[in-house]
Structure formats: C-alpha cells, structure tokens
Structure 1
Amino acid sequence: MSHKRIPKRNAAIAAGGVVALGAAAFLLPNANASQDNASGATTAPKTLKATQASDLSSQLQSLLGQAFAGAYFDSSKQQLVVNVVNGDNNVIVQAQKAGAVVRQVANSTSALQAAAATLKTKATIPGTAWAIDPKTNKVVVSADSSVTGSKWDTLESTVQGLGSNMATLKKSSGTFKTLVSGGDAIFSQVAQGTVRCSLGFNVTASDGSPAFLTAGHCGVAAKDWSDSQNGQPIATVDQAQFPGNGDFSLVKYNDATTQAPSEVNTGQQTVPITQAVDATVGETVFRMGSTTGLHDGQVTGLDATVNFASETVPGGTDTVTGLIQTNVCAEAGDSGGSLFTQDGGAVGMTSGGSGDCTAGGETFFQPVTTALQATGATLGAGGAGAGGAGASADPSATASDPAAGGDQSGTGTATGTGDQSGTTANGTSSKHHHKKG
C-alpha cells in the first residue's frame, strides 16, 4: 500500500485498521425496512433491522415499566425478543401489538441489577467482568486466567450466593487488558516509550472545532498524538475518562481546518457514518483496528463492568463500568478503534478484552452515545464522523500473531491535559493512507 501524503490541513486520519490482517466478514447491503409478517396480523412479530429493534426496545421499556426485564435481537429471525416478568395479559398484548416476541422470565431487571451490585461489593477482583444477559435472564460473570486460588474461591462463593437461577460463572482465555499498542493508528511519545492506539470516530467538539474520540486509557496515558510513529503531534487530549464510569477521550486536532469525513473505509467499501446508535444484545457489529483489521461478531451484554489489573498501581484494580460486551476479537493496538453497524451507526470504541484473533475472545467497548453526551461532542453533522481508513480486508488472510502489549493506562480521570503515566507499548509499525475530506 502506498504511503500518500497531502497537506496537513487536509489530513483525515482514519477510524479502523489500515492493514487488515484478517477479515471475518464483508459488510452486507443495508437490510430492508421494517415490515410486518405476511399474515398482516397485528400480533405477529415484526421483521426489524437491529437499529429499529433498539428503538422498539426503548419504547417498550417505557411502556412496560417494572414488567420489562430486558430484550435482545434475534438476528436469525430479525425479531426483537422482550422479557416480561410478572406481566399481566394486557402488558403482553401491548408488547405483541408493538411487534415484539414476548417471553416470560423469572428475574426482574431490578433483581439482576441488585446481583451486579453484590458482585461489585464482594468480588471486585482484577481479571473479572460481569454483565446482564437478557438471553439467559441471568448475570454472566467472567474470570480470566489470572483469577486463581483464593481470588477464584471468593468469586465462586459470591456467585453461588446469588443463586443458581440468578448468575453463571465462566472462565475466559487469556487476561483482561486494555489493548493499547497500534482504527488509523495514532502514536504518542512518552518517557517510557511509544504509546500506540487507534482512532475511533471523528467528531465536532462543543466549540465547533474538529476532534476525534478514542479510548480513555489512551488519553490518560499521553497528551499529544501524531498520525505517524515519530511524527509531529497533530492533536491534543481535551478530556479523558478512565477508569470509572467509562473509557473515552476527546482529542482535538491542532489545526482547526483539518477535514474529518463521516465514514469508515474498510478497504472493501466505504461505510458512511450517519449517527451514533445504542448497542442491542444479539446484533451483528463490525470492528476496525490497525493491528487486526476488520472483524465482526455479536453484542453479548450491555452495561458491563470490567476489572482491569492496574499496571500503574501494584496490586490495584482499574474498574470501568457501562461498557458493551461482545465476542468480536481484538488485540494489542486496537484500543480506541471503531465499532459500527453495517448501515452506518457508530456504536463504540475498543476498551479491552481477553484472547486474540486466532483463538477468539471477548471484548469490551465504550458506547459512543455515552461518550458524546459526556464530552458535548457531536457525530455525523457538519462533516464530523468517522475517518476513512485504507484497510485491505482480505477474507482469506489469517489474523496476526497475538501481540504481547499490556495495559498502557494510567489511573484516575484526566481532564484537559491527560496524564503521562503510560508504559511502553508495542512498537509495531503501521502504514497510513490519508484521504481528502
């Protein structure tokens, strides 16, 4: 791939990977609009796109109130399945008339949230994570390979104390870690070496200036960012959140005339990014990262809590809440990269996970909607959005070897200048493709 340079004011660094070493799937044409089943019966489940299912789920949550116990998208049937607890016939009929498949379940949303709160109090252990799974109507608790001995015993007894019908416990491969190292790769030089992350989505800051979103642990690790490993900084961290309630950074371009097109270029096609959307359990999503390129998978949980082992505080824990859980693979260097839908919805930025793109794993993402609300930035308007990435998505290629980069994050919340506490990142180089906006 050629290394094309254009004047700085027109540079548009990209969301997603510039060298796709493995692509799980091509993006498909947009699905047809929502329509009732052929029978035309008012109670027949509607055929929906995932974004439409998300909207319907929100509407039914308000309609059903305490009877609503979660929902998920059945991608094989393209239907929304809504859990109802203690629902009378009137409640069920209302949900069915709205077009959902109704399922009676035992655990209410409040009961599942109480179980998650117990886990937070009794089992905040590095290497653990949990999220409510509407498909099983339980809290799914994950423990990585570092959770052993007394830590495992504590976690196991806590889960058992919640009841067999309330939570399940599973082992995850590898260890949960933030994936800093190389969406276009972005770089920063700190005292400990090179920090390498991925750009998520270009946005417009509240003051009208061009900016982009990436992972919060990247913004905490370094203040100034470049689009080449040893290049001059082109953007500066404005806000960063990690750990705590989220993992996101707003980074402003130093040149106010920087063009930021609202698109993700997968190498096979360019996907216009038109809006920020909430994730729905069961929907198919796509992730771009400069280490591993294009990969896809499904959303498996919402409002996930992840307990990363801190590399800046010995024995400490960096707990992050409010994340999206998926089975999409990722590796070191993919942090901050774009998670999006086939029809142009910006869903999230890569936070961390376990496993790799050879054996698979689970990955957590910062919701874009939450990051936009917190930073005051906007997406997809006035030329803002996700930048184009010149990825070569080859479905016959294999994923790269697992990178050994660890957690590059600092601790605390950075506002304004960020924090220079990152550790040395994987220095693997990445080609760049610049594109006029």
Structure 2
Amino acid sequence: MRRRRFKHVCLAALLTLAGLGGAGTVPAVASGGGAPAGSSPSAADAAPASTALLDAMRREFGLTEEQAVARLDAERDATALEPRARRTAGTAYAGSWFDAVGGRLTVAVTSRSSQATRAALRAEGAGVRVVEHSARVLDAAKSRIDRLPAPSAVGGWHVDPAANTVVVTVVRDKTSDNDVQRFLAQARAAGPVTVETVAAAPRTFAAGTVGGDPYYTGNVRCSIGFSVHGGFVTAGHCGQAGAGVRGWDGSYIGNFQGSSFPDNDYAWVNVGSGWWTVPVVLGWGTVSDQLVRGSAEAPVGASVCRSGSTTHWHCGTVLAKNETVNYSQGAVHQMTKTSVCAEGGDSGGSFISGDQAQGVTSGGWGNCSGGGETWFQPVNEILNRYGLTLHTS
C-alpha cells in the first residue's frame, strides 16, 4: 500500500507543478475554433505504443498484440483524415466514424453528393455511405431539442452519424412517464429522432473526501485532467471560480481560475507553492504512465482510455460527440459519450486516445463492476475558452 501511494504522490505532484512552465506563467492564447497549435498527432507517429498499453487494449478489446498495433495505426490515420474528409464532402457531409471492423474512417454523405466527391473520399482512404440527412440538418434538429425543457428521466441526446438520426436516451423504466412522452413528441417534431433506453440517468462523478487521492476542494474529491502551462484542467462541477484546491497531502496547490457548470463542465486551476506541471497521465500500474503529445480529436468508434483517482485506468470506445447530457443540476452541451466506466471521485480525470488528450471526465451512469457509460468535456474547447496551452512532451 505504501509503495502504491508513493508512486501516486510523485506522479500527482508531476501533474500539478509550475516548474517547467514556471509558476505564474501567463498562458498563451490557443487558436480559435479547433485544436490549438501543436496538437497534431504527427509526433505520435514516431512513438511506438508501449507494451503496457498494448496489453490493456488486448484485455479491453480482446485483440492480439498485432491487432492492437494495427488498430492504433488505423485510428491515427482516421484522426488525421477526418477534417480533410469533412472539407472534401462539403455541404453533403453527414458525419463520420471509425469502423473498427474495416479499420478505416467511414464518411456519410447525402444523395446530393456527386460521384466525383465520393470517389475523392475513397481515394483519400475513407469508406463512403450514402444517407438521407446531412450533418447540418441533424445538428439543427439537435439544436432545437436543446431548447426544450427535459425531464430528469431523459438522459441526453446526440447526433448519431452511423444511424443518421438524433438519438434520445430515456431511463428504461420511465419511458411511459407523461413528461417523457411529451418531451419525445416535441423532439420528434424537431427532426429525425430515434429513442434508446438506458439503465440509469447520468450523474457527475465527484465524491466526498477520501484520503490518498489527487486533489480536493472543500469536501469534494476530484481528479486532475491535463496539465496546461500554469496549471491543469478539470471538471467544472468540482469547484467554483476562486475555490482553493489542496493536493493529496492537504497542501495548497492553487485556486479555480475559471469554472462553468452546468451548460458546460470545465474548469482550470492554477498551480504554485512547489507544485509544477508535466505532460503525464497516470497509468496506475495498469499501463505505464502516458506522455501527452497533443490533442488531436479521435473520431467516433476510436478507442479511448480514462485515468481517474477512484477506478484508475479503464478503456473503451468513443460512442458519440456533441451530446447534450441532462444532469439533475442542468443540461451540459457538446459532450463526448464513451463506453468507458467511471465512479465517484473520477470526475475531472483524463480521457486520452493513444498519446492525444481528448477531454476531462464529467459523469455517466453505472460503475466499473457492472459497466456503464461516461461522458467527457472535450479538452480543446477548454483550452480555447480560457486561452490555455496544453503541456505536451
């Protein structure tokens, strides 16, 4: 127990010091509207996956080592291809996702797309699927649903590009509830909608004070997300702007400099008093500690792993993007849905795909014994919102 804690202590400090970036360093402004400069996965291309990461993928996905290597390579290619494919498809673009079976990015386009456009997409290495609704139509329908008051039994809603519809999730034993039925009728009037049921409503993953975990604010324990120059990013529901933050040992780290929840679920904390930042995500002994080399956004269908102070390291796949999650405290927008489990205290922790930062843990349903789903707030949105620069290796 002492040995595990010693490793935890050292790495928690590594994730939060102001040494390499300098205490009180003024953060550089990130580029607007997309991944900040330097977030390209090109640096990862030369870095082979660690044996521990490949072992984790073998356990989580039932792959051989060769299959795990091939999947990581294919996901890296799909991540780089996605923005180009969107530009190639133009107004006919209807979404895209990583096809784990085919090992490539699939791009949906409407029937109005030209044969030349489809041929260009295939030439770039993408699979092509012709669908009815464009991404613009589906996004507009979701935006109309965002303006509706949702009952607590409605878990959330997102655009599913593979299904070419807006998926609304409802707690399984509440589907006949009058308020739910009224909401669904209004949602269907907004555009193409499919209803799916889930076992439970989403909740945030903060927890009461428990000894030996990365950071505390008040009586709440949460997890560090990613180091930025001058501090770290985490979940907004973990603390309000100005709130003090203590480390695993009770020592002062810094304060919440910005925080938003609900509507968003992001925050950032400055660091000082002997703490510094380095580009590391804890592997908790399940895998080696992971270096962060950028923040290129992985596509739907890609593998993703989460590190948190309660359940440590778990992996799964990206299920959906831009989902509106209906927590009891209020709706949170532009979230990414995953098949990864989480529990109380994991809030704010890191979601990473390969060596590319993806986001900070927000909430979900279920647990790591029986399974569940978890959402994260995309990291690039946080960086752009606060003008922060991700600390990368």
TM-score bracket relative to the smaller structure: 0.7 to 0.9
Aligned residue for 1:319? 331
Q: Does 1:114 align with 2:140?
A: yes
- Give CA deviations for 1:342-399 in whole Å, capped at 9, x if unaligned: x311111101111222222221101011111111111234x6xxxxxxxxxxxxxxxx
Residue equivalent to 2:358:
347
* Corresponding position of 2:290: 271
Q: Deviations over 1:250-291 (max 9, x none)?
A: 101122x53322122311312211111213100010011121
State the AA in 2 paired with 1:161: A
Which position in structure 1 is the counterpart of 2:157?
130
Q: Distance in 2 between matches of 1:87 and 1:75?
A: 25
User: CA 1:368/1:375 → structure 2, altered by over 3 Å: closer, same or farther?
Assistant: same
- How far did 1:6 drift? 11
Q: What are the superposed Cα offsets for residues 234-255 of structure 1, whole Å, 9 maximum, x if unpaired?
A: 12111112222x3111101122
Tell me which residue corresponds to 2:248: 228
Corresponding residue SS for 2:181: helix
- Preserved CA contact (<8 Å) 1:185 1:199: yes
TM-score by length of 2: 0.78
Structure with greater proportional helix content: 2
| Alignment match, 1:251 | 269
Higher relative contact order (CA 8 A, sep 6+): 1
- The residue aligned with 1:332 is 344
Residue 104 of structure 1 is matched in structure 2 by: 130
3-state SS in 2 of match to 1:156: helix
Match of 2:45 in 1: none
1:364 aligned partner, one-letter code = W
Q: Does 1:141 align with 2:168?
A: yes
Q: Is 1:153 aligned to 2:181, yes or no?
A: yes
Aligned equivalent of 2:373, options 334, 337, 362: 362
1:77-226 aligned within 5 A: 77-85=102-110, 86-126=112-152, 127-144=154-171, 149-161=177-189, 166-181=192-207, 185-189=214-218, 194-204=219-229, 209=230, 211-220=231-240, 223-226=243-246
Say what the alpha-carbon RMSD is for the aligned residues: 3.0
Give, in whole Å, the separation in 1 of the partners of 2:349 and 2:9.
24
What count of residue pairs does the alignment treat as equivalent? 340
Deviation for aligned residue 1:49: 2.8
Distance 2:8 2:156 in 1: 44
How has the CA–CA distance of structure 1 residues 101 and 270 changed in structure 2, closer, same or farther, with 3 Å as cutoff? Answer: same
Please list the CA deviations of residues 116-162 of structure 1 after superposition, one character each: whole Å capped at 9, or x if unmatched.
12322335333431111112111111123685622211133234435
**Matched residues in 1 for 2:122 and 2:362: separation?**
36
Paired AA for residue 290 in structure 2: V
* Residue equivalent to 1:4: 6
CA distance in 2, matches of 1:110, 1:7: 47
CA shift at 1:72, angstroms?
0.3
Check whether the contact 2:15–2:226 (CA below 8 A) recurs between aligned residues: no
Contact 2:282 2:307 in 1 (8 A): no
Provide the residue aligned with 1:372 in structure 2: 383
**1:309–1:6: structure 2 CA closer, same or farther, 3 Å change rule?**
closer
In structure 1, list runs of 5 or more residues that go unmatched. 15-22, 35-46, 311-317, 384-437
Contact 2:15/2:276 (<8 A) preserved: no
Measured at CA, do residues 294 and 33 of structure 1 come closer, stay the same or move farther in structure 2, by a change above 3 Å? closer
* Residue 6 to residue 87, structure 1, CA distance change in 2 (3 Å): closer
5 Å-filtered alignment, 1:293-312, equals 293-310=312-329
Q: Structure 1 residues 95, 13: CA separation in 2 closer, same or farther (over 3 Å shift)?
A: closer
Report the Cα offset of residue 13 of structure 1: 4.5
In structure 2, C-alpha distance between the alignment counterparts of 1:365 and 1:176, rounded to whole Å: 12
Normalised TM-score (structure 1): 0.71
- Check 1:328–1:33 CA distance in 2 against 1; reply closer, same or farther (3 A cut): closer
| One-letter amino acid of the structure 1 residue matched with residue 199 of structure 2 | S
Q: C-alpha displacement at 1:74, in angstroms?
A: 0.8
In the alignment, which of 69, 93, 103 is matched to residue 94 of structure 2? 69
Q: Is structure 2 residue 306 aligned with structure 1 residue 287?
A: yes
2:187–2:193: 8 Å Cα contact kept in structure 1?
yes
Gaps of 5+ in 2: 17-55
Q: Residue 201 and residue 146 in structure 1: after superposition, are their counterparts in 2 closer, same or farther (change >3 A)?
A: farther
**Structure 1 residues 173 and 220 mapped into 2: Cα distance closer, same or farther (>3 Å)?**
farther
Contact 2:317/2:339, CA 8 A, preserved across alignment: yes
**Given the alignment of the two structures, is residue 240 of structure 1 paired with residue 242 of structure 2, yes or no?**
no
